[in-house]
């Protein structure tokens, strides 16, 4: 995907969809074994997951990432991320529809302090897809493209560039909201910083703890929106609020504007 003039490749945290070709045979064999299907069937599932993803990303979506290296065996630079569509977390949707498994690099998703809850949720979704025989679990029954009819228990963070209600904090270092088309490449788009429509609350100077403040508290500081708050949270812990200068997007001017509000 693209943000401004820079392109990014992302790999989803916590989930793994089958390969779409035979370029990594050992991995493909392991994936086929997991779903109890043949290698050609695993490739078919991988391509179905790709089509599913392109469909979901045909509407505005948001990426939450620490920019952690996810190259693996690939020579292309890519990073781990969570992707939120207007229907919810993309990884959860893939697993719930039997097009991916709960597997891979773990980290706490936005709004949580541990990956455990998300792993348990993904396992539940995987069990449901397996029981309903959909996606990879239903290949031998001709149900590869049968999707879950149950409403998803997902919550959206950002859609169409507008912040939706969410009580938990966003644990991310960068947020993009490009619009993708169902094609091989993703449409270029500018970065979108989701800033709430509510007016900034007046807060006393020097009253905010940089290491414990919630996203809501951080966004009461003039000059700090939801994206910048997410970056600050992701960069914790700080030795002191003076380290705000190390946060991406906080230059001398913004630092001078925001520093007085922190302890």
**Residue in the block written with tokens 């919810």:** 88
Contact predicate 136/117, CB 8 Å = no
Q: Is the dihedral of CA 166, 167, 168, 169 positive or negative?
A: positive
CA dist., res. 207 & res. 233, Å (int): 17
pLDDT > 70: what percent of the chain?
Answer: 75
pLDDT > 90: what percent of the chain?
Answer: 36
Residues 138-172: pLDDT tens digits? 999 999 999 886 544 443 333 334 433 333 333 44
Strands 88-89 and 101-102: unpaired
Pick 204 or 223 by higher pLDDT.
223
CA dist., res. 94 & res. 96, Å (int): 6
What is the reported pLDDT for 171? 40
Q: Is the entire prediction scored with pTM above 0.75?
A: no
Indicate the DSSP class of residue 238. Answer: P
What is the reported pLDDT for 33? 94
CA dist., res. 110 & res. 173, Å (int): 10
What is the reported pLDDT for 98? 96
If residue 84 lies in a helix (H) or strand (E), which one and from where to where? strand 79-85
Residues 42-77: pLDDT tens digits? 999 999 999 999 999 988 899 998 888 776 655 677
Q: Rounded mean pLDDT of 6-21?
A: 89
Contact predicate 80/105, CB 8 Å = yes
What are the two backbone dihedrals, phi and then psi, of residue 206, each rounded to the nearest 5 degrees? 65, 25
Q: Rounded mean pLDDT of 95-116?
A: 89
pLDDT at 38 over 90: yes
Give whole-number Cα distances, 243 to 211, 217, 238, in Å: 11, 18, 6
The model's confidence at residue 109, banded by pLDDT at 50, 70 and 90, is confident
CA dist., res. 228 & res. 1, Å (int): 21
Contact predicate 162/60, CB 8 Å = no
Contact predicate 42/135, CB 8 Å = no
Q: Rounded mean pLDDT of 201-215?
A: 77
The encoded tokens of residue 258 equal 């925001």
CA dist., res. 96 & res. 100, Å (int): 8
pLDDT at 127 over 60: yes
pLDDT at 205 over 50: yes
The total of other beta-carbon atoms located within 10 Å of residue 242's CB is: 12
What is the reported pLDDT for 188? 31
Pick 182 or 227 by higher pLDDT.
227
Residues 91-103: pLDDT tens digits? 999 999 999 999 8
The encoded tokens of residue 243 equal 């380290």
**What's the first-to-final CA gap in the chain, in angstroms?**
38
């Amino acid at each position: 995907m693209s943000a401004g003039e820079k392109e990014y490749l992302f790999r989803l945290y916590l989930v793994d969809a089958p390969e779409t070709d035979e370029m990594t045979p050992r991995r493909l064999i392991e994936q086929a074994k997991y779903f109890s299907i043949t290698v050609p069937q695993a490739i078919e599932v991988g391509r179905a997951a790709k089509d599913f993803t392109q469909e979901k990303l045909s509407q505005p979506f948001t990426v939450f990432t620490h920019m952690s290296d996810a190259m693996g065996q690939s020579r292309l630079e890519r990073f781990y991320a969570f992707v939120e569509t207007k229907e919810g977390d993309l990884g959860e949707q893939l697993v719930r529809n039997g097009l991916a498994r709960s597997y891979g690099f773990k980290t706490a998703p936005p709004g949580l302090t541990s990956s455990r809850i998300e792993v348990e949720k993904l396992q539940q979704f995987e069990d449901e897809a397996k029981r309903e025989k959909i996606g990879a679990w239903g290949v031998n029954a001709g149900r590869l493209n049968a999707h879950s009819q149950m409403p998803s228990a997902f919550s959206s963070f950002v859609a169409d560039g507008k912040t939706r209600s969410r009580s938990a904090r966003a644990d991310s270092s960068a947020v993009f909201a490009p619009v993708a088309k169902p094609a091989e490449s993703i449409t270029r788009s500018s970065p979108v910083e989701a800033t709430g429509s509510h007016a900034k609350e007046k807060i006393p100077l020097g009253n905010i703890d940089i290491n414990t403040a919630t996203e809501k508290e951080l966004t009461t500081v003039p000059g700090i929106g939801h994206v910048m708050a997410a970056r600050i949270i992701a960069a914790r812990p700080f030795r002191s609020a003076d380290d705000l200068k190390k946060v991406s997007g906080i230059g001398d001017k913004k630092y001078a504007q925001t520093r007085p509000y922190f302890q």
